[in-house]
């Protein structure tokens, strides 16, 4: 049996997803993002039951931010690991994740907050015009929404796809009421691989439209 190259495997996987999903409600820019999320998780619910929800300006705002060299703020280190490193190299993006920063750990203990909450507020200024990617911590998503409502930061795009049973679905519902562009989903499913695959898909769209 001839060994297939990585790109060939990816291309065939995408074709298989297209075939298995069939007709869907996503437009030509949304579908590449949803398809890559399915590719990262092998979970076809993202095409239907746990539908991905796009703010009307989400994709254009996200691509524009990446093109302009924005920062990418992540809630956990695992999400950083899923980001395509070639994209980071080619486009010179600054990736920020302070979840393990000793000062964040200390402040969280002192104030009785989660590290995710504290790490988000620490980089309020760098969020301006940037992309926030949250795949693990609903408390991080709630904190970003609160910061937006307070008028202290205005990201170009919030990717809020935290996974879990406590506050995950609720935080996503709250995100859909915010004033900034967002990409999220319905229900409990999500995760770092979903959030990272969304960023990676936006990079691919940027390359194709440059």
pLDDT digits (tens, 9 = 90+) for 147-173: 999 999 999 999 999 999 999 999 999
pLDDT digits (tens, 9 = 90+) for 18-45: 999 999 999 999 999 999 999 999 999 9
Domain range summary for the chain, segments of one domain joined by +: 54-209
The CATH number given to 54-209 is: 3.40.50.10230
Q: What is the pTM of this model?
A: 0.94
**Catalytic pick from 35, 39, 55, 172?**
39
> What is the C-alpha separation between 189 and 46, in angstroms, rounded?
9
Contact assessment for residue 159 and residue 181, using Cβ atoms and an 8 Å cutoff = no
Q: What is the mean pLDDT of residues 48-56?
A: 90
Confidence (pLDDT) at 30: 97
> What is the C-alpha separation between 15 and 13, in angstroms, rounded?
5
Checking if the pLDDT of 4 tops 60, the result is: no
> What is the C-alpha separation between 203 and 84, in angstroms, rounded?
9
Per-residue pLDDT band at 3 (split at 50, 70, 90) = very low
Helix 102-111, helix 115-122: angle, nearest 10: 120
> What is the C-alpha separation between 139 and 192, in angstroms, rounded?
15
pLDDT digits (tens, 9 = 90+) for 173-204: 999 999 899 999 999 999 999 999 999 999 99
Q: What is the mean pLDDT of residues 74-98?
A: 91
Helices and strands in the chain, H and E counts: 11, 6
Annotated catalytic residue 39 = yes
């Amino acid at each position: 049996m001839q060994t297939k190259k990585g790109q060939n495997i990816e291309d065939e996987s995408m074709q298989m997803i297209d075939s298995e999903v069939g007709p869907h409600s996503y437009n030509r820019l949304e579908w590449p993002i949803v398809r890559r999320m399915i590719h990262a998780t092998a979970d076809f619910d993202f095409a239907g039951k746990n539908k991905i929800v796009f703010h009307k300006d989400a994709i254009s705002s996200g691509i524009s931010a990446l093109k302009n060299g924005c920062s990418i703020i992540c809630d956990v280190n695992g999400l950083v690991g899923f980001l395509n490193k070639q994209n980071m190299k080619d486009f010179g993006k600054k990736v920020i994740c302070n979840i393990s920063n000793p000062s964040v750990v200390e402040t969280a203990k002192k104030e009785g907050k989660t590290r995710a909450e504290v790490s988000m507020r620490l980089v309020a200024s760098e969020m301006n015009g940037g992309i926030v990617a949250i795949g693990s911590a609903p408390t991080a998503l709630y904190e970003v929404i609160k910061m937006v409502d307070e008028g202290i930061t205005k990201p170009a795009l919030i990717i809020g796809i935290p996974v879990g049973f406590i506050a995950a679905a609720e935080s996503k519902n709250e995100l859909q009421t915010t004033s900034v562009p967002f990409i999220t989903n319905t229900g409990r499913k999500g995760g770092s691989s979903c959030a990272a695959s969304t960023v990676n898909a936006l990079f691919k769209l940027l390359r194709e439209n440059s």
